[in-house]
Amino acid sequence: MQLRKLTSAALLVAIGALSAHLIYIPAGVSKCFPVQHAINVMGAVLLGPDYAVAIAFLISCLRNMFGTGSLLAFPGSMVGALLAGLAYKRWPNIGAAMAGEIFGTGILGGLLAWVIAAAVLNSNAAAWFFIPPFLVSTVGGSIIAGLLMKSGLLSQLTSNKAGK
């Protein structure tokens, strides 16, 4: 099962990193990425909070290395992934994971992005500047993840019967 989880995590990281240049919403010094939020929810539900945070971190690193992300990718994606995973662990339904992702990325991640933008990127944007685009991105990504999860298309990623 551990190998299946690692392989599933690697697949989600690859999808997130490779699709980063295709779909994003520019918002000042930030690039909002709905695919990241869909992956956060899927990782949280399929693999748990620890894997979800690791996936978010790796995608953010790769996006920054490829020039398709910014430093603000870290707070939004990682906080959202953590809260999605913790919410799903506490209330095991996809709606809880989606709500955790939306609050974690849209509100907390937006506020953390403001702190990082002010401290590291010398931005003088208002605290609320990052929250609306982060919310738009995370709501869209969470809905996509919810639809994919409800459809059953992703059940093969963690099913013990897959490949037998």
**pTM of the complete model:** 0.85
CB-facing half-sphere around the CA of 67: CA atoms within 13 A: 0
Question: pLDDT tens-digit profile of 118-138?
Answer: 787 777 777 677 788 888 888
Residue type, 134: F
Read off the tokens for 149: 């999860």
Q: pLDDT, tens digit, for every residue of 58-117?
A: 999 998 888 877 787 788 889 999 999 999 999 999 999 999 999 999 899 888 888 887
DSSP symbol at 27: E
Average pLDDT, the chain: 84
Q: Indicate the burial class of 75 (C-beta count within 10 angstroms; 0-12, 13-18, 19 or more).
A: buried
Q: Give the C-alpha separation, 65 to 88, whole Å.
A: 31
In 3-state terms, what secondary structure has residue 143? helix
